[in-house]
Amino acid sequence: MTELFGVPLAVLSGQVMIGLINGSFYALLSLGLAIIFGLLNVINFAHGAFYMVGAFVSWGLLTYAGVGYWPSLVLTPLIVGAFGAVFERTMLRRLYGLDHLFSLLLTFGLALALEGVFRWIYGAGGKSYPVPPSLQGVYNLGFMMLPVYRAWVIVASLAICLVAWVLIEKTPLGARLRAATENPKLVTAFGINVPLMLTLTYAAGVGLAGLAGAMAAPIYQVSPNMGSSLIVIVFAVVVIGGMGSIMGSIVTGLMLGVLEGLTKVFFPTASAITVFIVMILVLLLRPAGLFGKDK
Report CA-CA distances (Å) from 56 to 68, 118, 252. Answer: 14, 9, 27
Residue 187 carries which side chain, given as an amino acid letter?
V
Out of 27, 43, 80, 153, the only residue in the binding site for another protein (CB under 8 A) is 43
Among 51, 56, 235, 291, binds another protein (CB under 8 A): 235
91 touches another protein by CB under 8 A: yes
Dump strand ranges (E) for the chain.
3-4, 7-8, 138-140, 145-147
3-state per-residue secondary structure call for 51-92: HHHHHHHHHHHHHHHCCCHHHHHHHHHHHHHHHHHHHHHHCH
Q: Is 89 in the site for another protein (CB under 8 A)?
A: no
Q: Is 197 in the site for another protein (CB under 8 A)?
A: no
Choose, by CB under 8 A, the member of 3, 4, 86, 94 that binds another protein.
94
- The residue ranges of DSSP E strands in 124-217, in sequence order, are 138-140, 145-147
Number of residues that bind another protein (CB under 8 A): 41
Binding mask 108-127 for another protein (x = CB under 8 A): xxxxxxxxxx-xx-------
Q: What is the nearest approach in angstroms of another protein to the Cβ of residue 70?
A: 33
- Burial state string for 34-50 with b = 16 or more CB within 10 A and e = fewer than 16: bbbbbbbebbbbbbbbb
DSSP, res 270:
G
Radius of gyration of the chain (CA): 19
Q: Does 228 contact another protein by CB under 8 A?
A: yes
Q: Does 284 interact with another protein (rule: CB under 8 A)?
A: yes
User: With respect to another protein, which residue has the nearer C-beta, 80 or 131?
Assistant: 80
CA 276 – CA 288 distance, rounded (Å) = 16
Q: Cβ of residue 211: shortest distance to another protein, in angstroms? A: 23
Please tell me whether residue 86 binds another protein under the rule CB under 8 A: no
* Binding positions for another protein, rule: CB under 8 A: 43, 91, 94-95, 98, 100-102, 104-106, 108-117, 119-120, 228, 232-233, 235-236, 238-239, 269, 272-273, 275-277, 279-280, 283-284, 287
